[in-house]
Structure formats: C-alpha cells, structure tokens
C-alpha cells in the first residue's frame, strides 16, 4: 500500500516510492529508496511538497505512524484502456538506426561467442589461446558500440543458465565497451578495457567443474579454489606479446576491491588501475543479473540499486554513479509496464531521455501477445501528453507474465534477417 505524505511528515525509515515531480533532475539516482538520514529528509523537503510512501517497504517500527497517515488520499493505479492495436512507432530515425546496427552487430556477437567457446575449451585442454583473434573481435565490437551502443547491449540479454561463463565473458566485454564510451574514453583505451573484459574469466577453466558448477553454497576450501582463477588467467596470458600490462591487470585483479577485501592480492584504492575498477563493476552487474546454477538473476534496476549500496569499500563511487547514468533508469532489457497496461522490453535508453526510452511492446493491456511487436519511442512528443500519453509506471520482474526476453530477441533478429 502506498500513501501520500507531506514532506514535513517524513521520517527516516519511510520508503519513498514516488515524488510529486519527475525523478529526472533530482539528486536521487533511483526511483524508490528508503530515507536513511537527515540529509535526504532535507533534500526531499527542499524539492517536494509531498511524496508517496510504500508502507510494506518501510521499516517495521515506522508502520504504526504510517497507519495514522493512511487517511490521506491513496495512490490509484492508472486506469487501463480498452484493448487496442499497438501504437504506431512514430520513432523518427532512432528506430531505424537501432535496427540497422543490430543487423551489423549480430554477426560480430556470434563470432565472439564462438571464439570464447573455443578459447575456454582450449584452456580446459591445456592448449594455447589465440589472443590475436580476441583483439580483432573486440575491435569489431568497439566499432559497433561507437556507431550505436544499444544494439550490442540488447544482445547481452541472450543469456543461458547452462552457458553462463560463455555469455558472461561476452557480456562483460560489451558492457565494458559501452561504459567506456559513456566515459569518453578513447578508442585504443576502450579496446584495452574490452579485451581484458573478454578474457577476464579464462582462468575459471582451471577450476574443477564440480566446484565451478556447484548448485549449493561453497565450503571455505572450495571458495579458496575459486579465488585462484584470476591468477590462473594471468599465468595463461602473461607471455602473449599482443597483450599489454593493462589487459593483464584486468585479468589478474578484477576481483580486487578498493577497501582491501578482494583477491588475489588484497589491493586497495590506487593500487587498482582505473580500467580494472571499471571492469570489476561491470563484472558484478552481469553476474547478479544472470541466471546461474546456484541462483536466479535479479532485474537490471535492482542490480544497480545493489551495486550503489555495495560501493563503499568495494567500488569507486564516481565510477558506480557514472555506470548507473550510462545504463539509465530503465536499463536496456528491462521489462516494464506502461500506463495503458501494455507490457514491453526496453530496447534503447539514452541519457538525454532517461525517463522515456524506446520500448518493444510484447503484451497488450489484457496481457495477450501482440501479433506483431512494435517499437515505440516514448520520447516522441506524440506520446508526451493528452489522450495518447504513454509512460512507464512499473519495472517488472524478468519472468513476469511468462515473458522470455532471450526468445524475443532471437525472434526479432530472425525477422530482421528475413526482411
């Protein structure tokens, strides 16, 4: 239950789920947070006249106070409209630019996947890894990211639980390249970061599979074995002439944490290179959003919330905030509900229009599949106001309504190929 609360009545422990104004332009990184201190109370009182508080997500001790305020007007869910045809795209050039790059990006994605599958098998068999091919493939991915980052980031949602290490290596590479682009990093340094990201987990193939794929909690001894994989990866690659020290540092130290609690060396702060700090954030983000043998992935939105909370002692705070801005409030691949009841998947997100991304509609207001999916650009003025207004009202769990995002991506790619 959500209730409307005057900002003067706010207390620490209340969970603010909505403001009386757009989140964009406020100092709050997330749409929804628990009030933790007086500084946040002051910011809210300066910005807003009232907010909406989620009773269930507020701390237990504050609930009796909230119940006394419950007589205030209740938040009502936007009414659903009658079933209708999917809106026409009205996207301008962005829609076509995304599809044009997706056609180019998919072959590069597939080639990189094949490379990683073969490289992991080579390591398992004790054979040498072709790092020259890795550099060439990362260069192709970097060029795609520089043209239009959305297409490859969309493809990072082609995840398979039983192929975690393969897809994880590709995804960390792509997301690292996209993050580096957002930071304004030059092409050469961008490729260095992407190459280290692609190769960062090769050492896992020197870990026994029964430990790597164990569905339950690892013992202390098993975890110590897992912690050897960055060293194995470094030892596999350190004699490769085409790999720079920066690339090897990423492979060797991507599990180091700025507070000294990482491994294998327990480095702190500036002992960890900036590119390694960057990749370590992306590594954790993809890991927690992926289905693995021992846990189900969480939504991109929740992952960003968690990483923000974990940043002290673990990650560079400025880099974390930059990563959140790069992916957006509605990261690509997020499942969302519109005010009309339609359900869609975010396919393009830009910093310029963080609250109004491009969405692929997959279910209508009655939650029945559209016979033909449509991409709509919520930033288009057509959807901004009046009777046709469209906006996101909820972020949904990844498996809501039985939607299979990887299957949708594959189907969309097939339709592009046959068009």
CATH code, domain with 181: 1.10.3210.10
Do 184 and 132 belong to one domain? yes
In the block, which residue shows the tokens 């933790």?
A: 36
Looking at the predicted structure, is the pLDDT value of residue 83 above 60?
no
pLDDT band of residue 311 (cuts 50, 70, 90) is very high
> In this structure, is residue 112 part of a structural domain?
yes
pLDDT band of residue 29 (cuts 50, 70, 90) is low
User: Sign (positive/negative) of CA torsion 387, 393, 395, 401?
Assistant: negative
| pLDDT at residue 282, as a whole number | 98
| pLDDT at residue 291, as a whole number | 86
Instruction: Mark which of 69, 92, 119 sits at the end of a domain.
Output: 69
| pLDDT at residue 323, as a whole number | 95
Domain count, the chain: 3
Per cent of the chain over pLDDT 70 is 90
Residue 76 or 65, more confident: 65
| pLDDT at residue 260, as a whole number | 97
pLDDT band of residue 25 (cuts 50, 70, 90) is low
Do 229 and 320 belong to one domain? yes
User: How far apart are the C-alpha atoms of 234 and 250, rounded to whole Å?
Assistant: 9
> In this structure, is residue 159 part of a structural domain?
yes
pLDDT band of residue 94 (cuts 50, 70, 90) is low
Do 55 and 154 belong to one domain? no
Do 273 and 150 belong to one domain? yes
Helix (H, G, I), strand (E, B) or coil at 290: coil
User: How far apart are the C-alpha atoms of 277 and 291, rounded to whole Å?
Assistant: 24
> In this structure, is residue 318 part of a structural domain?
yes
Q: Residue 403's CB: how many other CB atoms inside 10 A? A: 19
The most confident of the ranges 13-22, 109-118, 364-373 is 109-118
| pLDDT at residue 21, as a whole number | 72
Residue 95 or 334, more confident: 334
Looking at the predicted structure, is the pLDDT value of residue 93 above 60?
no
Range with lowest mean pLDDT among 84-88, 210-214, 338-342: 84-88
Do 152 and 129 belong to one domain? yes
Phi and psi, residue 200, nearest 5° = -60, -25
| pLDDT at residue 72, as a whole number | 54
> In this structure, is residue 110 part of a structural domain?
yes
> In this structure, is residue 57 part of a structural domain?
yes
> In this structure, is residue 97 part of a structural domain?
no
| pLDDT at residue 71, as a whole number | 61
pLDDT band of residue 85 (cuts 50, 70, 90) is very low
Helix (H, G, I), strand (E, B) or coil at 337: strand
pLDDT, tens only, 336-377? 999 999 999 999 887 777 778 999 999 999 999 998 898 988
> Please, are residues 260 and 272 in contact by the beta-carbon 8 Å criterion?
no
Do 174 and 317 belong to one domain? yes
Strand ranges of the sheet holding 15-19, from the earlier edge strand across to the other edge: 2-6, 50-54, 15-19, 33-34
> In this structure, is residue 394 part of a structural domain?
yes
Instruction: Mark which of 69, 95, 126 sits at the end of a domain.
Output: 69
| pLDDT at residue 95, as a whole number | 64
Q: Residue 348's CB: how many other CB atoms inside 10 A? A: 26
Do 376 and 246 belong to one domain? no
> In this structure, is residue 194 part of a structural domain?
yes
Do 161 and 286 belong to one domain? yes
pLDDT, tens only, 263-303? 999 999 999 999 999 999 999 999 999 988 777 889 998 89
Kindly state the helix (H) or strand (E) to which residue 373 belongs, with its residue range: strand 369-377
| pLDDT at residue 77, as a whole number | 41
Q: Residue 113 has which token pair?
A: 């996947």
What number of residues does the chain have? 419
Looking at the predicted structure, is the pLDDT value of residue 75 above 50?
no
> Closest Cα to residue 175, out of 26, 316, 282?
282
Residue 83 or 104, more confident: 104
User: How far apart are the C-alpha atoms of 15 and 66, rounded to whole Å?
Assistant: 11
User: How far apart are the C-alpha atoms of 179 and 258, rounded to whole Å?
Assistant: 19
E-assigned strand segments in 32-142? 33-34, 50-54
Instruction: Mark which of 69, 93, 120 sits at the end of a domain.
Output: 69
Looking at the predicted structure, is the pLDDT value of residue 176 above 90?
yes
* Range of the structural domain that residue 149 is part of: 105-327
Do 213 and 255 belong to one domain? yes
H helix runs in 148-273, sequence order: 149-155, 164-182, 187-199, 209-212, 220-226, 229-237, 245-253
Mean pLDDT of the chain: 87
Do 173 and 222 belong to one domain? yes
Do 319 and 348 belong to one domain? no
Do 201 and 303 belong to one domain? yes
> Please, are residues 181 and 149 in contact by the beta-carbon 8 Å criterion?
yes
**pTM reported for the whole predicted model:** 0.81
Average pLDDT over residues 170-190: 96
């Amino acid at each position: 239950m959500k209730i409307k609360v005057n900002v003067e009545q706010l207390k620490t422990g209340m969970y603010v789920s909505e403001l009386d104004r757009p989140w964009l332009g406020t100092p709050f990184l997330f749409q929804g947070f628990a009030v933790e201190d007086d500084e946040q109370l002051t910011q809210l009182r300066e910005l807003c006249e009232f907010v909406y508080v989620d009773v269930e997500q507020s701390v237990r001790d504050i609930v009796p106070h909230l119940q006394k305020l419950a007589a205030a007007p209740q938040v009502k869910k936007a009414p659903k409209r009658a079933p209708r045809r999917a809106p026409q795209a009205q996207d301008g050039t962005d829609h076509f630019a995304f599809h044009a790059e997706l056609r180019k990006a998919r072959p590069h994605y597939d080639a990189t996947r094949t490379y990683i599958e073969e490289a992991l098998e080579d390591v398992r068999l004790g054979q040498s890894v072709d790092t020259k091919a890795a550099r060439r493939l990362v260069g192709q991915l970097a060029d795609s990211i520089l043209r239009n980052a959305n297409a490859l980031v969309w493809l990072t949602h082609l995840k398979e639980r039983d192929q975690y290490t393969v897809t994880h290596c590709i995804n960390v590479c792509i997301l690292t390249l996209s993050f580096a682009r957002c930071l304004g990093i030059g092409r050469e340094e961008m490729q260095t970061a992407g190459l280290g990201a692609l190769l960062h987990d090769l050492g896992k193939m020197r870990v026994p599979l029964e430990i790597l794929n164990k569905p339950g909690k690892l013992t202390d001894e098993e975890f110590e074995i897992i912690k050897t994989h960055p060293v194995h990866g470094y030892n596999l690659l350190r004699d490769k002439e085409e790999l720079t020290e920066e690339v090897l540092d990423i492979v060797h130290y991507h599990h180091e944490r700025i507070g000294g609690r990482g491994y294998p060396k327990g480095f702190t702060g500036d002992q960890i290179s900036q590119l390694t700090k960057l990749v370590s954030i992306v590594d954790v983000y993809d890991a927690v959003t992926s289905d693995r043998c021992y846990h189900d992935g969480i939504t991109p939105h929740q992952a960003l919330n968690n990483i923000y909370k974990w940043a002290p002692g673990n990650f560079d705070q400025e880099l974390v905030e930059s990563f959140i801005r790069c992916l957006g409030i509605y990261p690509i691949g997020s499942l969302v509900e519109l005010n009309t009841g339609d359900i869609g998947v975010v396919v393009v997100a830009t910093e310029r229009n963080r609250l109004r991304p491009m969405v692929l509609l997959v279910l209508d207001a009655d939650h029945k599949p559209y016979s033909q999916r449509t991409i709509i650009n919520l930033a288009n003025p057509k959807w901004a106001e009046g009777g046709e207004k469209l906006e996101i009202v909820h972020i949904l769990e990844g498996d809501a309504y039985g939607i299979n995002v990887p299957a949708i991506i594959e189907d969309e790619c097939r339709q592009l190929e046959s068009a």
